[in-house]
Structure 1
């Protein structure tokens, strides 16, 4: 259950102000079929994060045991600093829009997630929780939906109420704390 909670929280927080959240806002402005947009986000996220999680499990086998927590914690700190760089909405008019809300959402979301912070976080989380990879996939997918579904349904109003600068700094702090905790977890366990 730790894998699910960590994955859900990390992705839901990291997604605030992310380019895929801006993409959700763009899609909601283009299409009235909110359910089709959400279904496209769900399918794209499941496919992208499942591939990312399995990559994380594969990579974890090559990391020497004593280095695992240092690399993992360092990765969380690197993602934390990356969160401070605002994303831009690069979803200008595009040929994919002609395929409708579901197909456009699915294709654009899948492509936008490639190399994104939340995809990297999924790889890192799967490497950390390699025995619970399915919980990582479920957690990251639901975290993505938790951050994007409200934008699809109430995007303009929501974006006016939430300070993206505050959200980025909060997410950065959370990832730094998680990174430090992971790095120090062996020492904390030894003290117990």
Structure 2
């Protein structure tokens, strides 16, 4: 017993160090770190508030990843998160753009170089919301989830390692924002921030669309395999599934599915007395793309 305690502490420290290294490297140059840099560069009087908000958002995101990642995935789908994050960043871009066009050019007024007045709590909440939503489902949170899932008894070491790494990257982002802010005109920073956040918003929304295309391309491939099975080619359950895809799906892929479906009949039985491959497809679709609402595949 005397040897096991130091050994356990050593294992915990190693796990925390591994988590720190993995999360720190993954977060460098990530969208959330770039967002924190943009907030800090454009808000010279609130850099510590930006740092606190970004660090708090990222640490909370890590805690969620360690404790309730699976539960979170049931209610917040990756594509929904991407859409929400994209909208938030586009709103941020619009705010910075309005500030840029509303501010006076250098030399027209002494106040032109000063940032737009904003209450500290508003700046904190604004930064916190943008960073927190953007980080949900991000690769660093997924890395934290994976490490915690594989080390249940060391989940707090995983949390500490991830929290320290994300706090460090937030500090680097705010420091970089300060250095950038010292050498650029505030109006230029507003314009740069507007462009930066608009790009981030488009990246998130484009990522959502790309995931949707990948999802339906995968479905088309799996359905083609099912139609190759003579026993499944006339299945009522498969026909219902195709109708469901038509209702929610992607038109180019639907046309491909329609080609597969054309000329097929349908039997009067939904159960053919064997292990139904559509059940396996339902499970794979649910796990792969987080579709808890794929009820048309369910029996009964």
TM-score normalised by the chain length of structure 2: 0.40
- Are 1:9 and 2:18 counterparts? no
Structure exhibiting the larger radius of gyration computed from Cα positions: 2
**Distance in 1 separating the partners of 2:80 and 2:24:** 18
- Residue 21 of structure 1 deviates from its aligned partner by 4.8
- Residue 143 of structure 1 deviates from its aligned partner by 4.9
Question: Greater shift after overlay, 47-56 or 135-144?
Answer: 135-144
> In the alignment, which residue of structure 1 is the partner of 2:45?
26
- Are 1:177 and 2:177 counterparts? no
* Cα deviations by residue, 1:126-145 (Å, 9 ceiling, x for unpaired): 66441147686566545534
- Residue 27 of structure 1 deviates from its aligned partner by 4.2
Indicate conservation of the 8 Å contact 1:76/1:121, yes or no.
yes
Question: Greater shift after overlay, 158-167 or 178-187?
Answer: 178-187
Q: Per the alignment, in what secondary structure is the counterpart of residue 91 of structure 2?
A: coil
Residues 127 and 47 (structure 1 numbering): CA distance in 2 closer, same or farther, change over 3 Å? closer
Indicate conservation of the 8 Å contact 1:14/1:168, yes or no.
yes
Indicate conservation of the 8 Å contact 2:42/2:193, yes or no.
no
- Are 1:118 and 2:137 counterparts? no
Kindly report the root-mean-square deviation, in angstroms, between the aligned alpha carbons of the 2 structures.
4.3
> In the alignment, which residue of structure 2 is the partner of 1:105?
none
Pairing partner for 2:91 from 85, 96, 100 = 85
Indicate conservation of the 8 Å contact 1:7/1:139, yes or no.
no
Greater helix share, structure number: 1
- Residue 83 of structure 1 deviates from its aligned partner by 0.7
- Residue 50 of structure 1 deviates from its aligned partner by 1.6
Give unpaired runs (5+ residues) of structure 2.
1-21, 97-115, 148-157, 222-300
Pairing partner for 1:51 from 30, 44, 60 = 60
Higher relative contact order, chain-length normalized (CA < 8 Å, sep 6+):
1
Indicate conservation of the 8 Å contact 2:53/2:128, yes or no.
no
